[in-house]
Amino acid sequence: MNIDDIRALLRGCDQTHLLRFWDDLSARQREELIGDLLRVDFEQVARLIPTHVQRVPDAAPKARIDPAPVITAKPGSQRHREGAARGAAMITSGTVAALVVAGGQGSRLGFDGPKGMYPISPVRNKTLFRLFAESILATQRRFAGTVPWYIMTSEMNDRASRDYFAANKYFGLDSDNVIFFKQGVMPAIGRDGKILLDDRHRVAMSPDGHGGTLRALACTGALRDMATRGIEAVSYFQVDNPLVTPVDPVFIGLHDLTGSEASSLAVPKADDLEKVGNFALVNGKICVVEYSDLPEHHARARNPDGSRWLDNASIAIHVFSRRFIERLTDDIHAVKLPWHRAVKKVAHVDLDSGRRIEPESPNAVKLEMFVFDALPLADKTMVLLAKRSEVFSPVKNATGVDSAETARRDMIRRAADWLQGCGVAIPARNDGEPDAVLEISPLYALDAAQLAERITDKPTVPPSGTLYLE
């Protein structure tokens, strides 16, 4: 589009102010502004302004909430064996892809770079990206199949992420099977319906939420690439969880055997008010109710036996059928996931003075989608209950709960459990924690069962010792 086309587009949606400073911009600044404008889906924004910006969306009618049904698959059970066999067959046939949401930076962790490049493993200090790459490589070797890995980056970290993989030779993976694509953005919109300028030549943008992953797959051609490769199941996870199994054959197999279009892993909540989504039946459909939307009396409710009434937490691990994603995104201007509004303080350029203003109170609406909103749109869903200590320990904070410290602790705990299950003695501290630094590379064992198969000579772990297996 040339500038005349852009002017016409902006006139049609009453956003001509975005070119207010055009005459004062350098050639480079004009190029950057045009680039920003071309990333905005003005057709979609125009539809959302009346319903999500200029007024609060109509509240959903009060709905009945009940616990969501979940299934279990304990190791050794028939269901576990059937799921594992089916998942293994799918991986071998090349119909499974891994998908990681990795658009964030490590700034909250005091780390300058993409969060996926944050070093986390207890002994070798491997990064999150490396751990996932090793797991996918080990899965390919174990099942003699190819698992394409789709990595969703953002505008701010795409180049650094790509360069990191190239510099490390893709950690042994075939570079043709590591596919990067960028997350979409949405403009910040003032209460008057006008899109804000972050600078005189830049539009104020923010990521469109983890639900935007599905839209980005369609917009970037990654979804078409999946279809070309014959992918049927997409294993979705987020970059901040070092305990995740990127391609879990049992989970994937049960997703397929149950005929599910959208499947999720659940774990028991740590406490009543844990800041996680809650799996629930809402008007008969499996949904995730955000902790902020769940009435406290529901969060604290108990069953007659004293157990928590709503106890299944969403941990952002899903399997989606590719055809289901295609159905949700067949019109990229009207993706079927709902939009959510958040009123925020957004710095912006004053259109009269050209000066940048830092507002003292919320002044704009940011719009985003949540990936778990796909669940009630599926014809069939499945929720599999997992053991928290096996699959979930997010790295969100620099210290305290859900931090690098707790994630490393949980990685050591899991390694200790696996080793003790193989008859290896692990020294313990007075508080019961393992008195050793332990790390099991995915290239050595992907799970406790594979570790038991591989360990022949049981290692000796002295108090305060270190053990690394690869």
CA distance 37 to 7: 11
pLDDT at 416 over 70: yes
Q: How many CB atoms lie within 10 A of CB 226?
A: 23
Per-residue model confidence (pLDDT) at position 333: 83
pLDDT at 55: 82
- pLDDT average, residue stretch 195-212: 96
Instruction: State the fold for domain 65-396.
Output: Spore Coat Polysaccharide Biosynthesis Protein SpsA; Chain A (3.90.550)
pLDDT in tens, 123-157: 999 999 999 999 999 999 999 999 999 999 999 99
The per-residue pLDDT for 430 is 96
Q: What residue segments make up the domains of the chain, in order of their start?
A: 65-396, 403-470
- Tell me the C-alpha to C-alpha distance, in Å, between residue 421 and each of 251, 415, 452: 22, 10, 8
User: Count of residues for the chain?
Assistant: 470
Q: What is the rounded average pLDDT of the residues 383-394?
A: 98
Whole-number Å distance between alpha carbons of 315 and 399 = 20
Q: Which two tokens stand for residue 131?
A: 């751990």
Mean of all residue pLDDT scores within the chain: 96
Whether the predicted pLDDT of 166 surpasses 70? yes
Q: How far apart are CA 129 and CA 113, in angstroms?
A: 12
How far does the chain reach from its first CA to its final CA, in angstroms? 53
CB 445 within 8 A of CB 418: yes
pLDDT value at position 456? Answer: 86
What are the phi and psi torsion angles at 315 (to 5°)?
-120, 20
Could you give the C-alpha distances from 375 to 250, 321, 350, in angstroms and in order?
20, 12, 41
> What pLDDT, on the 0 to 100 scale, is given for residue 334?
85
Closest CA to 241 of 120, 338, 326: 120
| Residues 345-362, mean pLDDT to the nearest whole number | 96
Whether residue 59 has pLDDT greater than 80: no
Is the pLDDT assigned to residue 406 strictly greater than 70?
Answer: yes
Give residue 56's pLDDT: 77
Query: Using CB atoms within 10 A of its CB, is residue 440 exposed (0-12), middle (13-18) or buried (19+)?
Result: buried
Q: Give the predicted TM-score (pTM) of the model.
A: 0.95
